[in-house]
Amino acid sequence: MPTLNLQEIPRVKNITKEDFIANYFKPQKPVVIERFTDDWPAHKKWSLEYMKSIAGDKVVPLYDDRPVDYKDGFNEPHAKMKMSDYVDLLKSKPTKYRIFLWNILKEIPQLQSDYTYPDFGLKFMKNLPMLFFGGRDSHTFMHYDIDLANIFHFHFEGKKQCILFDQKQNEYLYKIPHSLITREDIDFSNPDFNKWPALKNAKGWQCELQHGDILYMPEGYWHYMKYLTPGFSMSLRAIAKHPKNLGKAVYNVLIMRHFDNLMRRMKGQKWIDWKNQQAISRTNNTF
């Protein structure tokens, strides 16, 4: 049975700033760092139960894998729940509900004392530390981030599958125009090549994250995340340094996002349907 053309992301136990810049940042290649957070308080403290104990009364935004609807606002949650109830749900059974882009700086300030920003020679956006939670078999759509940031993804508790592609693979991924996602009905953990034949030509990366692992995702990398067990991660972001990516980020934030929202208001579901069809026709015309 054919599978995606994915190579394993290299793993290192630890890394110096000089090695990181030379071997991963400058060539824009991903890497998993295994032991970097061993001396963080978060390494020993952070678990689902700990998050429940300090944030149990917080009402958290939840997202699932339903297709985009024209009535949905930008990053509008599909449901809300108390953190204590959500952790209990995660531990009791599989669920599609995920917490997405939850800013711990604002919500639980005391967590900031449990980690430090690493010195990798990049400028971090220190007001945007984000947490992500998910239940077994829940997943994100394949997407890239609107600001094309360098992302350091720290995983806690359980296991998570990660599949990455760089921007050079766009023509094979059934990218939705005027958007940051691919077709939402593609299962990147087990793709149907009869339905999505261009995916055979895409070359990407994969890894499995465990507690304490850091995944470095270079600027603008597509990423698909699947929770193999209940768990959570924290992303720290560093500003895109490559001029082309910085330009794309500015365009996405100032123009693309607002244009897409305008077209949703004007054309409704027809706009979403047109974009989904264009993802197929444009991809099939290029490979």
Distance CA 95, CA 81 (A): 13
What pLDDT, on the 0 to 100 scale, is given for residue 26?
A: 96
Distance CA 123, CA 238 (A): 5
How confident is the prediction for the chain on average, in pLDDT? 92
What pLDDT, on the 0 to 100 scale, is given for residue 128?
A: 82
Task: Assign 3-class secondary structure to the chain.
Answer: CCCCEEEECCEECCCCHHHHHHHHHCCCCCEEECCCCCCCHHHHHCCHHHHHHHHCCCEEEEECCCCCCCCCCCCCCCEEEEHHHHHHHHHHCCCCCEEEEEEHHHHCHHHHHHCCCCCCCCCECCCCCEEEEECCCCECCCECCCCCCEEEEEEECCCEEEEEECHHHHHHCCECCCCCEECCCCCCCCCCCCCCHHHHHCEEEEEEECCCCEEEECCCCEEEEEECCCEEEEEEEECCCCHHHHHHHHHHHHHHHHHHHHHHHHHCHHHHHHHHHHHHHHHHHHC
Minimal CA–CA distance to 29: which of 3, 56, 59, 7? 7
Q: What pLDDT digit, counting tens, does each position of 148-158 carry?
A: 999 999 999 99
What pLDDT, on the 0 to 100 scale, is given for residue 1?
A: 61
Distance CA 164, CA 145 (A): 12
> Does the pTM of the predicted model rise above 0.85?
yes
In one-letter notation, the amino acid at residue 189 is: S
What pLDDT, on the 0 to 100 scale, is given for residue 70?
A: 63
Q: What pLDDT digit, counting tens, does each position of 174-227 carry?
A: 999 999 999 999 999 999 999 999 999 999 999 999 999 999 999 999 999 999
Q: What pLDDT digit, counting tens, does each position of 117-131 carry?
A: 999 999 999 888 999
Indicate if the pLDDT at residue 105 is higher than 90: no
Distance CA 43, CA 213 (A): 10
**Phi–psi pair at 180, nearest 5 degrees:** -120, 15
What lies within 8 Å, CB to CB, of 201 at 6+ separation is 5, 172, 287
Indicate if the pLDDT at residue 46 is higher than 70: yes
Pick 128 or 39 by higher pLDDT: 39
Q: What pLDDT digit, counting tens, does each position of 65-83 carry?
A: 777 666 665 567 788 999 9
In the chain, % of residues over pLDDT 90: 80
Both tokens of residue 81? Answer: 């729940």
The band of 133, judged by pLDDT with boundaries at 50, 70 and 90, is very high
